[in-house]
Amino acid sequence: MAVEQDQILDGLTKGEYKFGFYTDIETDVIPKGLNEDVIRMISEKKQEPDWMLEFRLKAYRHWLTMKMPRWAHLQIPEINFQDIIYYAAPKQKAKLASLDEVDPELKATFDKLGIPLEEQKHLAGVAVDAVMDSVSVKTTFKETLADLGIIFCSFSEAIREHPELVKKYMGSVVPYTDNYFAALNSAVFSDGSFCYIPKGVRCPMELSTYFRINAANTGQFERTLLIADTDAYVSYLEGCTAPMRDENQLHAAVVELVALERAEIKYSTVQNWYPGDREGKGGIYNFVTKRGICKGDYSKISWTQVETGSAITWKYPSVILRGNNTSGEFYSVAVTNNHQQADTGTKMIHIGKNSRSRIVSKGISAGHSNNSYRGLVKITKGAENCRNYTQCDSLLLGDKCGAHTFPYIEVDNQSSVVEHEATTSKIGEDQIFYCNQRGISTEDAVGLIVNGYAREVLNKLPMEFAVEAQKLLQISLEGSVG
């Protein structure tokens, strides 16, 4: 019977990566390698002010003193940082009539990815910042949002136009000293999105960033900074894809969220970087630092992530609950198939009194993959009456994959309550047969069961994306489940 199940699993894992194409567009690249001159070159290309270059150099010098983290449950091959191109910008062809225009070639690329850059064609109520390789290609609905005082633009533009905000908040949640990849990102980051929601404004549309790696031998290092001022609200979504290549490519991003008093930030990710082929060749190394701070009282930050791509994922979207009565949430579905590896989870750091956090993690492993949940719940001495609830489920498809859980709980006072629940299950043969008997094929049955399993998390995504994410889950597991 076990053999049968393996066959079913094998058959199921023939899923193809749908975004693996490459756009042949002229690209402005700098030579391979990493040193202070390269950092100066990046800064110069972006015509940055001195303070920005200083920040980069400080980060770089610090990075040189650091070592690659080896504590995760991951097999990470040696990365030659001198063999990576740190800046690649698609060249916009010819002269465009207005600044708002986008090279047709680039437009076609994003069309193909289902991300139209013309506002009228776009999903109603979603504004997009489209980033390809090292630069932001286009940000839609900028003017509409500006009427409300909302700033939504590329990070480069924010450095030019809103230096006071960038200076104040950049590195305030994830300092460049934080970890190896955050330091690297701080030194070489090229673009990303910036968003500021002023006092009392509820952002009327979903904001989103779409990241696309296109050029070969490059790394992508983007940075996102999102600030919700007092009583502001914003829902933000990021998506990402990359071409299929045999070499691994490095993606090391930093995301910082700042929520002031009574502000609320909802941040959703659908991560679909190229995962490598069935034998584990190629794919993106996704080493990302995401952290938010609930700075003001009664503020709230909620992370939702659907992780299906990347060869290796190292990622822990966290919340520092500094204000009193703040709330942090982490909802995650992480799928690994074939030879993918993921070590992902969250940190909830309770500093404010009466702060609450909720963690719902659903891991799904198939093929020869390894999927780990790693989470820290820390309640400091002064953080009285705090509450955490953690639910951590693993679903195994097949018998060659692994699911691991590494929960860390530190509670330094008597008045707080921490709960942790964990389950591990396999898709039952009897569940599949039940579906078969109703006329549903094994592949569809697995999709149905997996989506049911992940539903609590998928329900947290904005509606338009929940459907996409559902399809993505199914595709990621095609040919993988039993």
Instruction: Enumerate binding residues for other proteins (CB under 8 A).
Output: 1, 4, 428, 430-431, 433-442, 444, 448-449, 451-456
Q: 153 vs 395, which CB is nearer to other proteins?
A: 395
With CA atoms as reference, report the closest residue to 273 among 328, 233, 220, 350. Answer: 220
Nearer to other proteins, 332 or 338 (CB): 332
Nearer to other proteins, 408 or 433 (CB): 433
Contact 302, 268 (CB under 8 A): no
Closest contact distance (angstroms) between CB of 363 and other proteins is 15
Which residues sit opposite 136 in a β-bridge?
131
Cα distances (Å, whole numbers) of residue 54 to 48, 50, 75, 188, 254: 10, 6, 34, 12, 18
**Distance from the first to the final alpha carbon of the chain:** 11
Task: Find the radius of gyration of the CA atoms of the chain.
Answer: 22
Taken in order 299, 305, 311, 316, the sign of the CA dihedral is positive
Cβ closest to other proteins, residue 335 vs residue 454? 454
CB nearer to other proteins: give 82 or 423. Answer: 423
Instruction: Give CB contacts under 8 A, 24+ apart, made by 447-453.
Output: 447/473, 447/474, 447/477, 450/364, 450/395, 450/397, 450/474, 450/477, 450/481, 453/362, 453/364, 453/393, 453/395
Q: Residue 332 CB, nearest distance to other proteins (Å)?
A: 15
Distance, in Å, from the CA atom of 341 to the CA atom of 55, rounded to the nearest integer, reads 33
CB of 392 to other proteins, least distance (A): 16
> Shortest gap between Cβ of 455 and other proteins (angstroms)?
4
Three-state DSSP class for 21?
A: coil
Beta carbon nearer to other proteins, 34 or 454: 454
- Minimum CB distance to other proteins, residue 482 (Å): 12
Q: How far is the CB of 450 from other proteins (least distance, A)?
A: 9
Q: What share of the chain is helix, strand, coil (3-state, %, to 5)?
A: 25, 35, 40
C-alpha closest to that of 392 among 356, 366, 424, 348: 424
Query: Based on CB atoms, which residue is closest to other proteins, 277 or 456?
Result: 456
**Closest separation in Å from C-beta 270 to other proteins:** 19
Identity of residue 471? K
Q: Which is nearer to other proteins, 332 or 340 (CB)?
A: 332
Q: Which of 323, 423, 305, 436 is nearest to 383 (CA)?
A: 323
Q: How far is the CB of 426 from other proteins (least distance, A)?
A: 13
